[in-house]
């Protein structure tokens, strides 16, 4: 078999592994993303708990990088301190490594079972079951890809080039380390890279002396991924992944230096080279976590001093650049795309406002409340500039589809601006009123409000995505949420009236509770309206609710 055919087969198997890993992760994020985020957020109270939470979340998502992005977002939003965020990532690194140990077991019998279960689940009409089908099918493809990698790599035993490359790397461990780090960064997955190396090692294609440099390099490259993906974010979001690079990366470089001096041979301790790769990967991350947790606070403090502060808060424009390029007004399709990009920036601010307003109810903080007000000013500016920009597009140059899209964007912008007003001019006032009265929600009332808020936040993200992807299934799902939220408000009000019989806590916060539920309901209705044009264009929107 020629070298090119071997490479194509191996590349295809690796591509399937990467795609399957992504399929599983997206399925879990869509089905259980909000639950995982909320539980993760509630667990980030101290470094040890944060590390444990990061460990389990990385196992669920099969990716430490995904955890890095989630925790960086929490840190940027002020939910957790950078020290806690770095601790969570150290735990996530170990969780990601543990995933490779699970997947290296002989699970070939599960391939057809997962594929069949995934197909059946995906063919149902329930959205949650469809996402479960995505997860099962992705797991089946993932295990199948590991088998294909093994089969594709077998002919490499007879390769004349591979021994030359490996022979050189055996003499240059630093290059081997750098090559493995580059491979992990290119794959954007240390899990996939370790599984590939383990599969190659099981066929005798990885020399024992390269196991340690390769594994250490993969871990260094895996740490860099999160830092690269957040390099354009604000300072608070960058501290966490960079802290992980300093601790995990320094640990791997230090371990490589020890290997250059002492030249450990791990193969004598394991049955196969593949086992040595996987267990070294787990052990390296476990050691880094244990030794690194005590230094998380020190690293966070150093990075806070070293990283340049843009000296902007969330209420100001994150950048003076705007997608609303006046020169594109003569090209309507491009101008509409520009407006869509600008609306996404508006959505980002709305999401921050919607997320933080609930914290203002639970933990009143005047600087945070002022920040919400500044965000609303920013949303108002977006609304004004986007509408003026869309109005300048020459109507005579628009075809029917473009004219309809122009109107949809204007309506979406208006609705988003109204959402911002409800948060800043209604909900924020209630938060201050609750603080002034010293009132508190009853345990059941708080649970109802929390559930309602989480659902509206999830619907907001779905609506924001719909502005870009115009997915019909997502539009139907979003519109279905309107009746669900209406029923939640109705049940909450009935329960609240019953609690007023003797619960002093409910009496003190009665009007705030009911009005907040109705504010969230109104916000949800405005967000749902973003789906109407998509359904109308597909002929799936009734003109009236009346029978």
pLDDT digits (tens, 9 = 90+) for 313-324: 444 444 445 778
| Mean pLDDT across 482-501 | 83
Which of these ranges, 26-30, 223-227, 429-433, 457-461, has the smallest mean pLDDT? 26-30
Residue 374: how many other CB atoms lie within 10 Å? 17
- Contact between 509 and 439 under an 8 Å Cβ cutoff? The reply is yes
Across the range 3-18, mean pLDDT stands at: 86
Read off the pLDDT band of 508 (50, 70, 90).
low
Rounded distance, CA 339 to CA 468, Å?
Answer: 11
401 — pLDDT class (breaks 50, 70, 90): confident
Within 106-232, strands assigned E span none
Nearest to 33 by CA among 65, 66, 77: 66
Is the CB of residue 475 less than 8 Å from the CB of residue 537?
no
Tokens of 139: 């797991």
Helix (H, G, I), strand (E, B) or coil at 487: helix
pLDDT band at 102 (very low <50, low <70, confident <90, very high): very high
Which structure tokens are listed for 332?
């309507």
Task: Find out whether 7 and 157 touch, Cβ atoms under 8 Å.
Answer: no
Domains and CATH numbers, the chain: 3-306 (no CATH), 326-537 (1.20.58.220)
Distance (Å, whole) CA 506 – CA 494: 13
Say what the pLDDT of residue 546 is: 43
User: How many whole angstroms separate alpha carbon 154 and alpha carbon 503?
Assistant: 72
DSSP 158: G
- Choose among 10, 539, 91: nearest CA to 296: 91
Q: What pLDDT, on the 0 to 100 scale, is given for residue 309?
A: 56
Confidence of residue 136 (pLDDT cuts 50, 70, 90): very high
| pLDDT of 297 higher than 80 | yes
Length of the chain: 547
Question: What is the model's pLDDT at position 224?
Answer: 92
The continuous run of DSSP H or E covering 27 comes out as helix 3-43
- Asked if residues 533 and 404 have their Cβ atoms less than 8 Å apart, the reply is yes
- Give the residue, 394 or 56, on which the prediction is more confident: 56
Query: What is the pLDDT averaged over residues 165-181?
Result: 94
In angstroms, rounded to a whole number, what is the distance separating the alpha carbons of residues 402 and 395?
A: 9
Contact at 8 Å (CB) between 61 and 71? no
> Distance between CA 235 and CA 312 in Å, rounded?
10
Residue 522 clears pLDDT 90, i.e. is over it = yes
Mean pLDDT over each residue of the chain, to the nearest integer? 85
d(Cα 135, Cα 20) in Å, to the nearest integer?
9
pLDDT at 7: 83
Instruction: Taking residues 259-278, report their average pLDDT.
Output: 88
Q: Cβ(275)–Cβ(103) under 8 Å? A: no
Q: Are 382 and 346 in contact (CB under 8 A)?
A: yes
Contact 315, 374 (CB under 8 A): yes
Per residue in 233-249, pLDDT tens?
Answer: 677 778 999 999 999 99
Amino acid 319: pLDDT = 43
The answer on pLDDT for 374 being more than 80 is yes
Per-residue confidence (pLDDT) for residue 547, from 0 to 100: 45
Unique residue bearing structure tokens 């004598």: 268
Band (296; pLDDT cuts 50, 70, 90):
very high
Residue 521's pLDDT band, with cuts at 50, 70 and 90, is very high
| Helix or strand (DSSP H, E) at 514 | helix 510-528
């Amino acid at each position: 078999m020629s070298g090119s055919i071997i490479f194509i087969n191996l590349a295809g198997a690796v591509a399937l592994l990467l795609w399957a890993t992504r399929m599983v992760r997206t399925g879990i994020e869509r089905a259980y993303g909000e639950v995982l985020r909320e539980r993760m957020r509630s667990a980030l109270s101290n470094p040890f708990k944060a590390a444990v939470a990061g460990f389990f979340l990385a196992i669920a998502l099969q990716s430490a990088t995904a955890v890095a992005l989630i925790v960086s977002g929490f840190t940027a939003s002020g939910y957790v301190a950078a020290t806690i965020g770095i601790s969570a990532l150290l735990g996530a690194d170990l969780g990601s490594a543990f995933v490779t140990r699970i997947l290296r077991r002989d699970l070939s019998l599960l391939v057809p079972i997962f594929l069949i279960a995934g197909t059946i689940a995906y063919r149902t009409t329930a959205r949650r079951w469809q996402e479960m089908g995505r997860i099962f099918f992705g797991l089946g493809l993932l295990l199948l890809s590991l088998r294909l990698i093994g089969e594709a790599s077998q002919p490499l035993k007879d390769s004349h080039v591979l021994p030359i490359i490996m022979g050189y790397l055996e003499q240059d461990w630093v290059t081997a380390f750098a090559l493995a780090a580059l491979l992990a960064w290119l794959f954007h997955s240390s899990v996939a890279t370790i599984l590939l190396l383990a599969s190659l090692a099981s066929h005798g294609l990885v020399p024992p002396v390269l196991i340690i440099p390769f594994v250490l390099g993969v871990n260094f490259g895996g740490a860099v991924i999160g830092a690269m993906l957040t390099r354009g974010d604000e300072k608070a979001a960058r501290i966490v992944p960079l802290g992980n690079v300093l601790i995990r990366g320094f640990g791997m470089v230090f371990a490589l230096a020890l290997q250059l001096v002492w030249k450990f041979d791990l193969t004598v301790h394991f049955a196969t080279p593949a086992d040595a790769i996987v267990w070294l990967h787990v052990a390296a991350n476990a050691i880094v976590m244990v030794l690194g947790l005590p230094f998380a606070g020190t690293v966070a403090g150093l990075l806070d001093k070293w990283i340049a502060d843009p000296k902007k808060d969330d209420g100001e424009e994150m950048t003076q650049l705007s997608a609303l390029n006046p020169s594109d007004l003569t090209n309507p399709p491009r101008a509409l795309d520009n407006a869509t990009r600008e609306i996404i920036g508006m959505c980002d601010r709305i999401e921050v406002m919607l997320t933080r307003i609930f914290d203002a109810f639970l933990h009143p903080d005047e600087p945070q409340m002022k920040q919400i007000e500044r965000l609303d000013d920013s949303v108002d500016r977006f609304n004004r500039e986007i509408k003026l920009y869309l109005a300048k597009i020459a109507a005579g140059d628009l075809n029917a589809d473009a004219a309809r899209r122009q109107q949809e964007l204007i309506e979406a912008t208006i609705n988003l601006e109204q959402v911002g007003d409800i948060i800043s001019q209604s909900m924020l006032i209630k938060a201050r009123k609750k603080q002034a009265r010293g009132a508190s929600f009853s345990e059941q009332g708080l649970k109802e409000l929390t559930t309602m808020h989480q659902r509206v936040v999830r619907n907001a993200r779905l609506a924001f995505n719909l502005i870009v992807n115009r997915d019909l299934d997502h539009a139907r799902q979003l519109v279905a949420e309107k009746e669900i939220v209406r029923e939640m408000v109705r049940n909450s009000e009935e329960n609240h009236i019953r609690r007023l019989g003797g619960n002093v806590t409910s009496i003190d916060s009665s009007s705030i509770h009911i009005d907040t539920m109705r504010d969230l309901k109104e916000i949800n209705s405005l967000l749902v309206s973003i789906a109407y044009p998509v359904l109308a264009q597909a002929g799936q929107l009734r003109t009236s609710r009346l029978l």
